[in-house]
Amino acid sequence: MDLTEIRGKYIGAVAGAADEAALEEVRVAALGKKGEISALMATLGRMDPDVRKAAGASLNALKDEIDAALRAKKSALGDAALDERLRAEWLDVTLPGRPRRVGTIHPVSQVMDELTAIFADMGFSVAEGPQVESDWFNFDALNIPPEHPARQEHDTFFMARATGDNRPPHVLRTHTSPVQIRALQAQGAPIRVIAPGRVYRMDMDQTHTPMFHQVEGLAIDRDISMANLKWTLEEFCRAFFEVDRVELRFRASHFPFTEPSAEVDIRYSNVGGQLRIGEGDKWMEILGSGMVHPKVLAAAGVDPTQWQGFAFGMGIDRIAMLKYGIPDLRAFFESDLRWLRHYGFSALDMPDLPGGLSR
C-alpha cells in the first residue's frame, strides 16, 4: 500500500477538477463508500495491532488531507463562478428603485373607522354580535310581530334545518339591531354604543345587494330625548361629510322597535354631477331613527319606567357612496375603475385578442 502514490493521484485530481461535477467524481473515487481510501480503511481490521495502529494513523491523515483539498477546491470553484457571473452581469446601483403599487383601505372599512372615531368622541363604544342570529334576537326582542314581511323567506335568509330538528329558527341577521339587545343584556343601562357590521337581506338591484353594511346607534339614560338624537346626528353629519352647515329633516315614520319613529333627510344639491351636502333645495333620506320602544327595553331586561333613549341606523355603503360620489352600489363589488383607483390600482393595458378584437 503506497500511500504516497495514492496521495499524489488524488491531490492532483483535485487540483485538475474543472468544475464541481468533476470534483464530486474525485471525492467519490477516493472517499465514497466504495472509494479507494475507504476500501483501505476496511482492511485495518485484518492487520496485527501494531501494524494497524501505524497504518490507521497514516490513512486517517491522508483522508483528512484529501478532504481538506476537496473543500478548498470547491470553495475556489464557487468563487470563480461568482467572479464570472459578476463579470457577465452588470447592475447600475445608482438607478432609482422600481416603484411598487401600494393598496389602500377598502372604502367601507375606511368609513367604519371614520364613523367609529366620530362617535367615540361623543362617548359611544363599539358593540359586536354574531352574524348568524336567533329568530328571537333578530325579530321578537325588537318588537317585530310574526306577520311582519321581514320575517318571510322572500325577505330574510333563514338557516336550513334537517328534518326533525325543532330548534328555534336562526337567520342571517337582517340588521345590527340584535347587537343592541345583546349589549343591553350584558351591560344594562345607562349605555351608549354603536354596532357596525355586515347584514343580509334578499335584495339585488342597482341600489341593493344581498350583503351590505350597517351601523346602528343606541343611547339609554334616564332623561334622553329626541333633542339629544337630533344633536347627535347633526354632529355626526358635520364631522363625517366635513361641512360646517348641516340641515336635517325628521319625517314621522314607523319602525316596530322605536316609538316615535322618524326618517331623517339631509339637505343637499347636485351641481354639475357633484353632490354637495348641507346646501341646496333638495332632500335625501339617509337613515331611520326614533325613541326606543318600551317593549324593546323590557325584552333586554331594562325597566322602561326608569330608562329611555334613542336608536338610529344607517347603511355604511350608502354614506360611503355619498361621500365618495359613487352612483351605483354594485361598484363596491365589481371592477369599477373609480374604486380600483381608490384602492391604489390603475387601469391595466389589456393585450389584443386574436383577430384584432380588443378585450
Tell me the per-residue pLDDT of 101-130, one tens digit each, with 9 for 90 and over: 777 777 788 889 999 999 999 999 999 999
Residue 217 · residue 194 · CB < 8 Å: yes
pLDDT the model gives residue 347: 44
Pairing of strands 132-134, 258-271: unpaired
CB neighbour list of residue 40: distance below 8 Å, 6 or more residues apart: 1, 6, 59
Tell me the per-residue pLDDT of 262-282, one tens digit each, with 9 for 90 and over: 999 999 888 877 788 888 889
- Is the pLDDT assigned to residue 27 strictly greater than 90? no
pLDDT the model gives residue 357: 35
| Cα-based distances in Å from 20 to 10, 25, 77 | 15, 9, 7
pLDDT the model gives residue 354: 40
